[in-house]
Amino acid sequence: MVSSFFSDILLHPLGIYVLALGAGFLIPLFDRAHRGSAVLVFFAALAGMVAIAGLNLLAIVNGAPSIDIETAGIAPPFSINLRFGLLEGGFVLAVNTAALLAAWHCLPALRQHASALLLFLIMVMGINGMIMTRDLFNLFIFIEITSIATYALIGMERTGSVLAAGFKYIIATSVATTFFLLGTIFIYYQVGTLNIDDIIVHADLIQGPIGFIATLFVLTSLLIELKPYPANGWGLDVYETAHSGIASLISVGVSAGVFFAIYKVLPLMDSYLTSIAFIGGATFLVSNIIGLKQDNARRLLGYSSIGQMGLLTLALALLLQLEASSQLVLVVGGLFINHMLAKAGLFWLAGIIDRSQLKDWCAIAQRPGLLLLLGIMMAALIGLPPFPGFWAKWQLVMILAEGGQYLWIAVVLIGSLLEAAYLFRWFSHARGTDNNSMGDSSTDEVPPQAVVSLAQQLPVAIATLLLFVIGYVMALAMNIETPGMFLPLLAGFALWLIDGIRGRLKALAMLLVVGAGGYWLTNDLDGINRLFSYLLVGGGLLVSIAVMYRNDDRRGFYPLLAVLLLSLAVLLRAKTSLEFFFGWELMTLSSYLLVTLGRNGVKPALNYLLFSLASAYFILAGFALAYAASGSLLLSDLGNSGDSIGLIFSLLAIGFVIKMGGFGVHIWLPGAYAEADDDFTALLSAVVSKAGIFGLVLIAANLGVQSDIGLDPTYVLGWIGILTATFGALMAVFQEDIKRMVAYSSMGQLGYIVTGIALMSHLGWVSALYMTVNHFLFKGILFLSIAGIVLRTNERMMYKMGGLIKNMPFTFVFTMIAIIAMSGVPPLTGFGGKWMLFNALMDKGWYFIAAFAFFSSAVAFLYMFRLLQTVFLGQRKLEHAQLREAPAILLAPQFIMIAAIMVISAYPRLLLDPLSAAIDPWISNTLVWEGFALQTQYGYWNAPMIMAVVGGVWMVPLIILLLVSLTMKIQKVEQFNIVYAAERPHRPEDTHFAYNFFAHYDRAIGFLVRPRATAFWNAAVEWSHTLASSLRVFYNGNGQTYALFILMYFVAMVLFNGGLGS
Amino acid sequence: MIAEWIGKIGNFTLTLLIVTAYGLFMTAFIERIIAKVQGRIGIPYWQPVINILKNFFKRTAVSHGYMFYLGPVFRIAGGIGTLAFIPVIYGSETFSNFSMAGDLFLVIYFMFFGQLGMALGAGESGHPYSAIGIARGLSQMTAYEVPFALAVISIVIQYDTLSITEIVAAQQGGWENWTVFTNWVATLAAMLAFLGMTGYSPFDIFLAPQEIPIGPPTEFHSAYLSFMSLNRALFGATKLVLFMNLFFGGATGLLELMIKTWLIYMVAIVIGVSFPRFRVDQAIRFFFKIPTLIGIMSIVYAQMMLTS
């Protein structure tokens, strides 16, 4: 009896209203006794509302029928009824949970007034009603209840700006609901019922000008409640000024209610779907453009909120238009829950930290926990994995591609990119862009840090947890291989737990975890994937050994590194494009965060992230088109894409080329490489950049060869590659900063590989893969050497070094060998790559590309020599006299790589045979071996013999000179023992020729490398800011104007949809 | 196998001696011609040999460090190695050297070996003039490489091979088969590049031999310097042999080799004594204009006229 009372009465969805209203009566009563007890009642009621929603939803998920609440003892349509089905349940549970967390967040403010507690409950109940009611007029009532409660809660803080914002809010919503009421009346006039289900059944009765006006009024007023651009200035003011808890509830709760109301009446609005999509898309795009210019954190969140609701509206309208309503739960539900948790979390964070200007957010630069929460919220919001938004956005783009809605795909992706731009600009401020405790600016004061208690962080932390959990559930729904794909995150989490222990121990743990995880993920791969697994996972581990040269705390470094390296393994393991994209985005996010850990890494990291995301979106678009064309997500089915194969290849190739720093889109590369931690730069260049190569090989193999369509894009790609090589080399020549120089060099060297892949021939691919391995070896050595140099000298400018050969002989020899291997001078590995590439280019008839390859490899000599000369040779600075050799742990991996270079140089066949075997399934083998000599149509290359001859001709003069040295007196001389300009110099600064080393070259052809690409992208930023300024002229802060806009919005909607004539 | 190698090494040693001797002789010969043009008598024929021997047997030397010590070794190894990969006389097993190890592409890239090593050695001396000279020399090199590479690509299109032996073989059977007549555009581009390669005026600023000595030799002396002078003679002759093979029909005998290489060398000398020196940036721009255009034309020419 008692139990049935609980289950039937109290736990019935109606209990939500009972609890809210009941508590509404009890709160003033208890408040008389004690404010604390009133708060207790308040929380009990909220928790009960969550529990009821949760339990009922669980039952429905497990197969129970949806629950209808009837009133007045009469069946609908003659009475008002409420429904609690799957969708309603999901929304109600989400809203109530958010409300509970928001209540916890703004408890200090709420408990000031007992009425605030009461109003809060009423507001939540109103939202619940908006979701559940099936009666049009009742919907109006609940909207009004919610509006009034919200208005009152906004006014909880009695400052001028809040009250003004609240006034604008109530004016705006009143105007909107008035029209809603008018629309309802018209509908009732025509259909004779207010029950929504009944109206839908008799939708054919809604006709003529009255029907048109009726539906349009209902729809438009609901849309207005979602704050569409430009009639949304009132909403922005509220988001900016209201208490963060209330703002969060307006953003996620009220919006959810209105959104669900739109969903309910949409069956009546078939003819308006295009308008709705347009309104949603425009709002999403424009809000995110304007957000770029915003410096106020709360207002920024406002733009983001409005934008996200626009995206939801867009998705809803398009899905219905494309008759994909079976995907509504996944797409709209996923986007909604993602927006709700992340946006609410951000509002709460904004409330806790309480800094209005973005630049003041460096107040949490020293608070890793808060930074982590902030970063997770933002990552979730822009749809990075593993959060719900990622899966939902993927699915949305796939459906849009299937429906041929390419323009909308572009809108969704561009809007997401813009949102990422301003959100992560904010994150950059929080990371502390300008001041850095590790940098030279030791005189700068660390700004006062925000003081936040754990209790305050609790709601945000719970939201974070929910994001992960729901993300995981969605991953299961998307048939992702689990737990394999989640291993990077698990490993990262495990290492984060032990992040408090000492530096080297953490590094060791990281190596073990990555080693075991990497092995587990990649040991059953074969073909090209297996080859790349050696390079990315094995090579990654090898270079990572060097991270142990630092023993400092490096908070966050090791967990993120584990995520990065294992996400590379996930990339290799991916069978479907979704898994690939998942690994790709995981890699993007983790490497971005790792770059921010560098000394001045925050700003370059933002560039890196934005270009990486742009790259990811091109890849996403490419995959979506492939899915639309082939109907399959399998990577091996990419080739079945029919006519659109050229376009798909182009989109994917653009994505990968951006990630590799291709010509024109390279500007993120030098900054990110230079400012990342020195050991991480080695990983970025030697290992992470290979992910782009893997992607290119993957699509070239699956798209280019399987189909017999001649791909013109490959010729363009060949040119892009070689121009990247040429300009990378030219720009490297003029750098003073050693890391920037080698970064440009990295860009250039990858260019050759792109060209090799673009050749689409066996020899071309072998050369590309060979150069990939070689690039891994020499760039790993170079950047690790540089790490040692920077460690010892604490300098990056090459002209401030010099003569280090005396102090760091091993580093010098390793660098020299790496540079010879890079330059292509025989007998080391570089020659083989150049030789094969040249042969393949001649074979293909790409003669001018071959000429550029010649030229760029000649230019490369300039910077290679400069590096050795200005750092290791010439005059040593006096203060560097006592420097020691780089630590052994840095030299050890270099030594292993040197050994590999030597072996491959003498016996390239050891490497070429497996490379060729991996390519054979795609293109038949064309390598002709005669013993150890490789022959092509044009020439021949006998590496062991070359090695022997060079060794011989080198040893003979050496022996002669040694013999001569025995007979004559060779005197070792000290520094400055030269005569220069008629005197014996004594200051290295005057004598070391290093600064502006190639001034004459600059005078001759420096005009080629003036930073045009940078200028272009800066101009692009400038234009978008100008655009943002002109788009926000509507926001003049005047309530009357805002009300006018709303009226005009109705007029515009009428005109847009054909006016009264239809 | 071992006997074969010993034979090859013996043959190559012979080639090396002949080419070096010829290179030294020609150095003196050219010096004398230049002197005559300038109204001087010039050096005796054996002067280069005397210089090398004198330097080689100096009793003292200083060393700035191990890279400095190894610089000349790299340099002369580069010269010898380049020669080793070029077949010197067509059809002669004795003079084919180790050209079976690699093709034209190998030779072009191996030319950098000695230059890079010597540059590093010179760098360790700490003398700024060395570094300045090398910086200028390298820059100029990137510029003349462009017409040269275009010309090479053109003849690779023409002969459909990268093997020097086969390129020479294709030019046999009469002077009308020489590349200079069949593909004069490529030859013109290559000869313009050759001017830069030899380092005579107007492209000699990276060494500035007349006034302050800059470039790698600045700090090298005694045995080091003798290695470097020896290499200059050897490497110069080697480059001539390469050009002769690629563009002038190769040689079937030593006499033909000497006459042809001397004539090729004279191109550089005549232009050298006739024109004043370019500044390095002017030299770079020069190579990127007319010679590069000619080089591009040579590829178009080869593609349109010389492929079947």
Looking at the 3D structure of chain A, how many domains does it have? Answer: 1
Quick one: pLDDT at residue B254? 92
Instruction: Give A894→chain B minimum CA distance, Å.
Output: 20
Quick one: pLDDT at residue A391? 95
> How does residue A433 score in pLDDT terms, banded at 50, 70 and 90?
low
Cβ of A942 within 8 Å of Cβ of B149? The answer is: no
**What tokens does A567 get?**
């996400």
**What tokens does A323 get?**
């008759």
Taking the Cβ of residue A957 and every Cβ of chain B, the question of whether any pair is shorter than 8 Å is answered with: yes
DSSP label at A789? H
Please give the torsion angle defined by the CA atoms of residues B111, B113, B116 and B118, in that order, rounded to the nearest 10 degrees. -100
- Chain B residues with CB-CB distance to A1003 below 8 A: 281
Domain range for A890 is: 479-927
Q: Which among B63, B67, B72 is the nearest to A873, CB-wise?
A: B67
Are B238 and B245 in contact by the 8 Å Cβ rule? The answer is no
Instruction: Give A787→chain B minimum CA distance, Å.
Output: 22
pTM: predicted TM-score of the whole model, two decimal places? 0.94
Taking the Cβ of residue A851 and every Cβ of chain B, the question of whether any pair is shorter than 8 Å is answered with: yes
Q: Which among A835, A865, A957 is the nearest to B138, CB-wise?
A: A865
Test the B interface: residue of A937, A956, A964 with most B CBs within 10 Å: A964
Helix (H, G, I), strand (E, B) or coil at A935: strand
Which residue of chain B is at minimal alpha-carbon distance from A807?
B65
Q: Does position B16 have pLDDT exceeding 60, yes or no? A: yes
**What tokens does A329 get?**
């739960």
Residues 875-934 of A with CB under 8 A from B: 875, 933
Q: Which residues contact A882 (CB under 8 A, 6 or more apart)?
A: none
Strands A969-972 and B60-63: parallel
**What tokens does A320 get?**
């219905």
B255 class by beta-carbon count within 10 Å (0-12 exposed, 13-18 middle, 19+ buried): exposed
Instruction: Give A443→chain B minimum CA distance, Å.
Output: 37
Using alpha carbons, select from A367, A241, A226 the residue that is nearest to residue A298: A241
Q: Which residues contact A907 (CB under 8 A, 6 or more apart)?
A: A932, A943, A944
Residues 812-841 of A with CB under 8 A from B: 812, 816, 820, 823-826, 831, 834-835, 838-839
Test the A interface: residue of B58, B73, B150 with most A CBs within 10 Å: B73
Instruction: Residue B140: count other Cβ atoms within 10 Å of its Cβ.
Output: 27
- Chain A residues with CB-CB distance to B112 below 8 A: 823, 825, 861
- Chain B residues with CB-CB distance to A934 below 8 A: none
What is the C-alpha to C-alpha distance for residues A472 and A391, in angstroms, rounded to an integer? 10
Q: Which residues contact A458 (CB under 8 A, 6 or more apart)?
A: A104
Taking the Cβ of residue A939 and every Cβ of chain B, the question of whether any pair is shorter than 8 Å is answered with: yes
Quick one: pLDDT at residue B210? 63
Cβ of A847 within 8 Å of Cβ of B284? The answer is: no
What is the C-alpha to C-alpha distance for residues A551 and B57, in angstroms, rounded to an integer? 54
Taking the Cβ of residue A734 and every Cβ of chain B, the question of whether any pair is shorter than 8 Å is answered with: no
Instruction: Give B282→chain A minimum CA distance, Å.
Output: 7
One-letter amino acid at A291 equals: G
Beta-carbon pairs below 8 A across chains A and B: 243
Cβ of B223 within 8 Å of Cβ of A964? The answer is: yes
Residues 111-150 of A with CB under 8 A from B: none
Q: Which residues contact A859 (CB under 8 A, 6 or more apart)?
A: A726, A729, A730, A733, B142
Tens of pLDDT along B276-299? Answer: 999 999 999 999 999 999 999 999
Instruction: Give A938→chain B minimum CA distance, Å.
Output: 4
Cβ of A946 within 8 Å of Cβ of B124? The answer is: no
Q: Does position A436 have pLDDT exceeding 50, yes or no? A: no
Strands A928-930 and A933-935: antiparallel
Test the B interface: residue of A855, A936, A949 with most B CBs within 10 Å: A949
Q: Which residues contact A649 (CB under 8 A, 6 or more apart)?
A: A622, A699, A703, A704, A711, A713, A714
Quick one: pLDDT at residue A441? 42
Residues 630-659 of A with CB under 8 A from B: none
Quick one: pLDDT at residue A443? 42
More confident residue, A922 or A763: A763
Q: Which among A825, A826, A873 is the nearest to B123, CB-wise?
A: A873
> How does residue A450 score in pLDDT terms, banded at 50, 70 and 90?
confident
Helix A602-630 vs helix A668-675: angle between axes, to the nearest 10 degrees? 130
Which residue of chain B is at minimal alpha-carbon distance from A932?
B101
- Chain B residues with CB-CB distance to A972 below 8 A: 62-63
What is the C-alpha to C-alpha distance for residues A886 and A619, in angstroms, rounded to an integer? 41
Instruction: Give A869→chain B minimum CA distance, Å.
Output: 6
Quick one: pLDDT at residue B211? 59
Q: Does position A60 have pLDDT exceeding 50, yes or no? A: yes
Element housing A343 (H / E): helix A334-353
What is the C-alpha to C-alpha distance for residues A452 and A367, in angstroms, rounded to an integer? 9
Test the B interface: residue of A868, A940, A987, A1002 with most B CBs within 10 Å: A940
Taking the Cβ of residue A274 and every Cβ of chain B, the question of whether any pair is shorter than 8 Å is answered with: no
Element housing B63 (H / E): strand B60-63
> How does residue B20 score in pLDDT terms, banded at 50, 70 and 90?
very high
Cβ of A972 within 8 Å of Cβ of B63? The answer is: yes
Q: Does position A709 have pLDDT exceeding 70, yes or no? A: no
Q: Which among B131, B161, B281 is the nearest to A874, CB-wise?
A: B131
Quick one: pLDDT at residue A437? 42
Q: Report the pLDDT averaged over residues B20-40.
A: 91
More confident residue, A49 or A5: A49
Q: What are phi and psi of A83, to 5 degrees?
A: -125, 140
Q: Does position A435 have pLDDT exceeding 80, yes or no? A: no
Quick one: pLDDT at residue A316? 94
Cβ of B73 within 8 Å of Cβ of A957? The answer is: yes
Cβ of B109 within 8 Å of Cβ of A826? The answer is: yes
Please list, residue by residue across A456-476, b when 16 or more beta carbons sit within 10 angstroms of its beta carbon and e when fewer do: bbebbbbbbebbbebbbebbe
Quick one: pLDDT at residue A4? 61
- Chain B residues with CB-CB distance to A951 below 8 A: none
Tens of pLDDT along B172-197? Answer: 988 999 999 999 999 999 999 999 99
- Where is average pLDDT lowest: A434-438, B138-142, B244-248? A434-438
Using alpha carbons, select from A64, A68, A66 the residue that is nearest to residue A85: A66
Q: Does position A154 have pLDDT exceeding 50, yes or no? A: yes
Cβ of A950 within 8 Å of Cβ of B81? The answer is: yes
> How does residue A3 score in pLDDT terms, banded at 50, 70 and 90?
low
Quick one: pLDDT at residue A484? 85
With helix as H, strand as E and coil as C, how does A632-688 read? CCEHHHHHHCHHHHHHHHHHHHHHHHHHCCCCCCCCHHHHHHHHCCHHHHHHHHHHH
More confident residue, A437 or A732: A732
More confident residue, B4 or A434: B4
Domain range for B155 is: 2-305
Q: Which among A847, A868, A997 is the nearest to B299, CB-wise?
A: A847
Quick one: pLDDT at residue A932? 87
- Chain A residues with CB-CB distance to B131 below 8 A: 869, 873-874, 993-994, 997
Q: Does position A5 have pLDDT exceeding 70, yes or no? A: no
Cβ of A1004 within 8 Å of Cβ of B281? The answer is: yes
Q: Which among A803, A825, A972 is the nearest to B112, CB-wise?
A: A825
A643 class by beta-carbon count within 10 Å (0-12 exposed, 13-18 middle, 19+ buried): exposed
Does the residue A318 lie in any domain?
Answer: no
Cβ of B153 within 8 Å of Cβ of A816? The answer is: no
Cβ of B123 within 8 Å of Cβ of A874? The answer is: yes
> How does residue A1059 score in pLDDT terms, banded at 50, 70 and 90?
low
> How does residue A438 score in pLDDT terms, banded at 50, 70 and 90?
very low
Percent of chain A residues topping a pLDDT of 90: 69
- Where is average pLDDT lowest: A29-33, A832-836, A965-969, B76-80? A965-969
Instruction: Give A811→chain B minimum CA distance, Å.
Output: 13
Cβ of B160 within 8 Å of Cβ of A859? The answer is: no
Quick one: pLDDT at residue A418? 95
Does the residue A165 lie in any domain?
Answer: no
Q: Report the pLDDT averaged over residues A496-507.
A: 89
Using alpha carbons, select from A381, A404, A269, A245 the residue that is nearest to residue A324: A404
Q: Does position A224 have pLDDT exceeding 90, yes or no? A: yes
**What tokens does A1054 get?**
């009428």
Quick one: pLDDT at residue A1062? 46
Q: Report the pLDDT averaged over residues A544-557.
A: 90
DSSP label at A970? E
Cβ of B69 within 8 Å of Cβ of A875? The answer is: no
Helix (H, G, I), strand (E, B) or coil at A295: coil
What is the C-alpha to C-alpha distance for residues B110 and B99, in angstroms, rounded to an integer? 13
Q: What are phi and psi of B249, to 5 degrees?
A: 80, 5
Long-range contacts made by residues B96-99, C-beta under 8 angstroms, separation at least 24?
Answer: B96/B11, B96/B165, B97/B8, B97/B11, B97/B12, B97/B15, B98/A945, B98/A949, B98/B8, B98/B12, B99/B163, B99/B164, B99/B165
- Where is average pLDDT lowest: A339-343, A700-704, A706-710, A736-740? A706-710
Tens of pLDDT along A289-346? Answer: 999 989 999 999 999 999 999 999 999 999 999 988 888 889 999 999 999 999 999 9
Taking the Cβ of residue A1000 and every Cβ of chain B, the question of whether any pair is shorter than 8 Å is answered with: yes
Tens of pLDDT along A858-898? Answer: 999 999 999 999 999 999 999 999 999 999 999 999 999 99
Element housing A162 (H / E): helix A160-191
Does the residue A447 lie in any domain?
Answer: no
What is the C-alpha to C-alpha distance for residues A551 and A540, in angstroms, rounded to an integer? 19
Residue B209: is the preceding peptide bond cis (ω within 30°)?
A: no
Average of per-residue pLDDT values in chain B:
91
- Where is average pLDDT lowest: A448-462, A900-914, B169-183? A448-462
**What tokens does A358 get?**
């973005």
* CA A431 to chain CA mean position, Å: 16
Are A67 and A47 in contact by the 8 Å Cβ rule? The answer is no
Which residue of chain A is at minimal alpha-carbon distance from B118?
A865
> How does residue B153 score in pLDDT terms, banded at 50, 70 and 90?
very high
Which residue of chain B is at minimal alpha-carbon distance from A839?
B162
Instruction: Give A936→chain B minimum CA distance, Å.
Output: 9
Cβ of A1000 within 8 Å of Cβ of B280? The answer is: yes
Instruction: Residue A610: count other Cβ atoms within 10 Å of its Cβ.
Output: 20
Quick one: pLDDT at residue A156? 83
What is the C-alpha to C-alpha distance for residues A310 and A227, in angstroms, rounded to an integer? 9
